[in-house]
Structure 1
Amino acid sequence: MTEPEQSFDIAVVGGGMVGAAFACAMSGKGLSIAVIESRAPRRDWPAGEVDLRVSALSRASQRMLRRLGVWERILELGASPYRQMRVWDAVGGGRIHFDSQDLGEADLGHIVENRVIQLALWEQLEQSPDVTLICPAVIADLDRREPPARIRFADGRSIDARLLVGADGRDSLVRDLAGIQTEGWNYDQRAIVANVMPADWHQETAWQRFLPTGPLALLPLSDGRCSIVWSADDERAVELMGLDDALFSEAVTDASESCLGRLILDGPRASVPLRLQHAKQYVLPGLALIGDAAHAIHPLAGQGVNLGFLDAAELAATLDLALERRRDLAGLWTLRHYERARRGDNLLMLGAMDVFKRIFGDSRQPLAAIRGLGLTTVDRIAPLKRLFMDRALGLGADLPPLARPYTAS
């Protein structure tokens, strides 16, 4: 076997938001880290252009990004706070309203373009002497028969790594090459993403209406526009994607019940198929999966990237403990600590979103009336409502250190 070009303590496959955040979290600890990515993030874009892909960052994610030293750069590149959330049901008639003031918080979270988050993290990695960015790079093969793992690239290069971290998305090559199976199902829906200009001010509020064919979310942007995520059954999604801009604008206005007046499509549209997916194992000796490589969730609550950041924070905390106790970073005993900490919480969130999707996608009576009553009841019971928001915001204490609330010094 030929010698590899380089050997690393950790190789992170996938330099997107979650993979880059994990690499940042492990930097500065005496380890050599490689980040493997097929293409570098965009460095700039035209003024006024908003990426179709945005994320609703929770407070826990914000705290993590601040501790990683990139939050100020994200604010500089552009982040839009939202202070309220209004959710209502098109059939059952129930509605619920969340306000950050009721929680004593400045906001409920931030809407940030995915490219902004990735660029801020990438810039941080470029300044880290213990991080090697291998980009562009395409993995051709993975040999894990004996440690360390050997990663072979399509151009003939190869590297070794004690610990391989798969952060390469829901169609993870690392997961497939490692032989880790997944369970789940297709939703027979597509998420249509686009930007719209509303006639009325969005009030720094996230709006979501549950329709029988799937939920529509309007996410406020700082320039007055809204990013939309419209999850629609396949047949309806094909129909919507086939409309011209004017007819699509009418359709999204009707679907939103004109809550912000007329909505005008501003730019292109894209759609992605939706599915629930969960890896049967998060870890093997010398390997760990984080983010969408480990789990894919319905976007109706915007929790995908937040779960991924918590994975990254928990794996970093697990490895910190192993370093402190002088244990093998890549050992199965070490990595199972991470899996135990995250698998149950992720499964709970995946299950909850699946139940919401199915319940709110059923227009039959009396289910529609019951769920409408349920929404309205939760809206009126302050402690229960607070519990929902604490969970969504990441305000609890049962979080990995990078995501925990700050304590007074």
Structure 2
Amino acid sequence: MQSVDVAIVGGGMVGLALACGLEGSGLRVAVLEQQAPEALDPQAPPALRVSAINGASEKLLTRLGVWPTILQRASCYHGMEVWDSDSFGRIAFDDNSFGFSHLGYIIENAVIHQALWQQAQQCNDVTLLAPAQMQQVAWGENEAFLTLKDGNMLTARLVVGADGANSWLRQQADIPLTFWDYRHHALVATIRSAEPHGAVARQVFHGDGILAFLPLNDPHLCSIVWSLPPLEAERLQQADEAAFNQALSVAFDMRLGLCQLESERQVFPLTGRYARQFAAHRLALLGDAAHTIHPLAGQGVNLGFMDAAELMHELRRLHAGGKDIGQHLYLRRYERSRKHSAALMLAGMQSFRELFAGQHPAKKLLRDVGLKLADTLPGVKPQLIRQAMGLNDLPDWLR
């Protein structure tokens, strides 16, 4: 039986960030992951799953020592533009106006995952167990007992659930979950546009859909996330290429000219989730295991990285002070901080999504006026930029 201080169940981006962040703290860490990531082909076209990494996550990944590696396949963006189709509502940002060198990066999830995995492999205090599948967990007074499907056993003073939206650990701990169907599916693909994107991230609200174009390194390539009612998403996924290209170009108001599909199309259901507890006796939840949000602001993985930043700092502090890192009493500080941040983000996204849903004339006028005022009133844009860059949600130690 192996004994560790922290067992992280789930070796995705957020779980690995926590593991790397605990290196040198004196805590022994094990990461249990079902499958090790495959080696990346540097010549392969961009993967479909990408994330918009904001300034806060960039600071964390820099501290963890993985940013130079990630940067080799990262696409920087310098502007953002949001508008309501067929109306005057529009807001635009650029980095220069606010004294920033950039607003963020569009990065393939696999690139971030691979960099963190390689970093964790080099950590003396971290053991990567893959493939490892959970069979059973028992919560003891002083430690938790983990049984794997291959018969191996593990004890840990703290178990961290970083095992995704359908978290097995969260279910085993009987932590209630508030969830709601966004009544949208996300269609993702890579698109080639006739006109260059100019390193600007763009998003348009049209009818019942939300369409985001995220700029990649190639000046004519974008990753799209098209949030649509389920039947419409399925129809567009099955449509022939010419029909899809036409529908996409029209929905995007021909902003970048004619658009051509460059990849397969994948569709994912969108569900909002919020765990009633982010911590319990010998357990902490982070990332998608604790919360999932609508991708319209691209904040999902950034929220998860800030969970990891907060928890690694808290565990280091507790361990240095000789405290029991698995006591719920001590984990409450992490829980309060991250529940608050997640609740604010979820509420904000839900309000935004409700406001931009449908074509009711009064609602349309309200959102158009709102966008126009946000674009022109002094003092509003700097706050929105700071929020988008995650600078309002930065743990003190990362500032």
Question: What amino acid is the match of 1:278?
Answer: Y
Residue in 2 aligned with 1:120? 115
| Residues in 1 aligned to 2:353 and 2:323: alpha-carbon distance in whole angstroms | 42
Question: What amino acid is the match of 1:190?
Answer: H
User: What SS does the aligned partner of 2:83 have?
Assistant: strand
Q: CA deviation at 1:238?
A: 1.3
Q: Is it true that 1:35 corresponds to 2:34 in the alignment?
A: no
Is residue 192–residue 260 contact of structure 2 (8 Å, CA) maintained in 1? yes
Residue in 1 aligned with 2:271? 275
2:13 to 6, 13, 17: 17
Residue in 2 aligned with 1:132? 127
Q: CA deviation at 1:105?
A: 0.5
- Between stretches 327-336 and 60-69, larger displacement belongs to 327-336
Residue in 1 aligned with 2:213? 218
User: What SS does the aligned partner of 1:50 have?
Assistant: coil
| Residues in 1 aligned to 2:178 and 2:67: alpha-carbon distance in whole angstroms | 35
Q: CA deviation at 1:385?
A: 1.1
Is residue 61–residue 403 contact of structure 1 (8 Å, CA) maintained in 2? no
Aligned length: 398
| Residues in 2 aligned to 1:305 and 1:371: alpha-carbon distance in whole angstroms | 27
Question: What amino acid is the match of 1:120?
Answer: A
Q: Is it true that 1:174 corresponds to 2:160 in the alignment?
A: no
| Residues in 1 aligned to 2:206 and 2:34: alpha-carbon distance in whole angstroms | 38
Q: Write the mapping of 1:243-254 to structure 2, written as runs, cut at 5 A.
A: 243-254=239-250
The Cα offsets for residues 193-231 of structure 1, whole Å up to 9 and x where unpaired, read as 110011110000001001222210000000231000001
2:194 to 192, 196, 199: 199
Residue in 2 aligned with 1:261? 257
The Cα offsets for residues 144-192 of structure 1, whole Å up to 9 and x where unpaired, read as 1443111111111111111000011111111111111100211121011
Q: Assess, with a 3 A threshold, how the Cα gap between structure 1 residues 192 and 403 changes in structure 2: closer, same or farther.
A: farther
Question: What amino acid is the match of 1:59?
Answer: G
| Residues in 2 aligned to 1:80 and 1:403: alpha-carbon distance in whole angstroms | 23
Q: CA deviation at 1:111?
A: 0.4
Is residue 40–residue 111 contact of structure 2 (8 Å, CA) maintained in 1? no
| Residues in 1 aligned to 2:378 and 2:390: alpha-carbon distance in whole angstroms | 18
The Cα offsets for residues 280-310 of structure 1, whole Å up to 9 and x where unpaired, read as 0000011000001000100000000000000
Residue in 2 aligned with 1:71? 67
Q: CA deviation at 1:273?
A: 0.5
Q: Write the mapping of 1:394-409 to structure 2, written as runs, cut at 5 A.
A: 394-396=390-392, 399-401=394-396, 403-404=398-399
Residue in 2 aligned with 1:232? 228
Q: Assess, with a 3 A threshold, how the Cα gap between structure 1 residues 364 and 92 changes in structure 2: closer, same or farther.
A: farther
Question: What amino acid is the match of 1:95?
Answer: R
User: Unpaired segments of 5 or more residues in structure 1?
Assistant: 405-409
Is residue 310–residue 403 contact of structure 1 (8 Å, CA) maintained in 2? no
Question: What amino acid is the match of 1:15?
Answer: G
Q: Write the mapping of 1:315-394 to structure 2, written as runs, cut at 5 A.
A: 315-394=311-390
Q: CA deviation at 1:254?
A: 1.1
User: What SS does the aligned partner of 1:174 have?
Assistant: helix
Q: Is it true that 1:287 corresponds to 2:283 in the alignment?
A: yes
Question: What amino acid is the match of 1:286?
Answer: R
| Residues in 2 aligned to 1:134 and 1:87: alpha-carbon distance in whole angstroms | 43
Question: What amino acid is the match of 1:315?
Answer: L
Question: What amino acid is the match of 1:234?
Answer: P
| Residues in 1 aligned to 2:149 and 2:71: alpha-carbon distance in whole angstroms | 37
| Residues in 2 aligned to 1:382 and 1:395: alpha-carbon distance in whole angstroms | 19
Is residue 67–residue 402 contact of structure 1 (8 Å, CA) maintained in 2? no
Q: CA deviation at 1:92?
A: 4.5
| Residues in 2 aligned to 1:373 and 1:382: alpha-carbon distance in whole angstroms | 15
| Residues in 2 aligned to 1:160 and 1:386: alpha-carbon distance in whole angstroms | 48
| Residues in 2 aligned to 1:30 and 1:87: alpha-carbon distance in whole angstroms | 46
The Cα offsets for residues 229-285 of structure 1, whole Å up to 9 and x where unpaired, read as 001011211111111222211111111111111111101111110011100000001
| Residues in 2 aligned to 1:145 and 1:17: alpha-carbon distance in whole angstroms | 28
Aligned-residue RMSD, C-alpha: 1.2
| Residues in 2 aligned to 1:25 and 1:308: alpha-carbon distance in whole angstroms | 14
| Residues in 2 aligned to 1:344 and 1:392: alpha-carbon distance in whole angstroms | 17
| Residues in 1 aligned to 2:355 and 2:396: alpha-carbon distance in whole angstroms | 35
User: What SS does the aligned partner of 1:267 have?
Assistant: coil
- Between stretches 385-394 and 301-310, larger displacement belongs to 385-394
Question: What amino acid is the match of 2:187?
Answer: I
Residue in 1 aligned with 2:144? 149
| Residues in 1 aligned to 2:47 and 2:281: alpha-carbon distance in whole angstroms | 38
Is residue 186–residue 276 contact of structure 1 (8 Å, CA) maintained in 2? yes
User: What SS does the aligned partner of 2:379 have?
Assistant: helix
The Cα offsets for residues 17-60 of structure 1, whole Å up to 9 and x where unpaired, read as 10000111111111110001111112122614111110000100
User: What SS does the aligned partner of 1:38 have?
Assistant: coil
| Residues in 1 aligned to 2:143 and 2:24: alpha-carbon distance in whole angstroms | 22
User: What SS does the aligned partner of 1:366 have?
Assistant: helix
| Residues in 2 aligned to 1:185 and 1:141: alpha-carbon distance in whole angstroms | 28
Is residue 192–residue 270 contact of structure 1 (8 Å, CA) maintained in 2? yes
Q: Is it true that 1:49 corresponds to 2:35 in the alignment?
A: no
Residue in 2 aligned with 1:111? 106
Is residue 13–residue 37 contact of structure 1 (8 Å, CA) maintained in 2? yes
Question: What amino acid is the match of 1:342?
Answer: R
Residue in 1 aligned with 2:155? 160
| Residues in 1 aligned to 2:329 and 2:323: alpha-carbon distance in whole angstroms | 9
| Residues in 2 aligned to 1:219 and 1:229: alpha-carbon distance in whole angstroms | 8
Question: What amino acid is the match of 2:8?
Answer: V
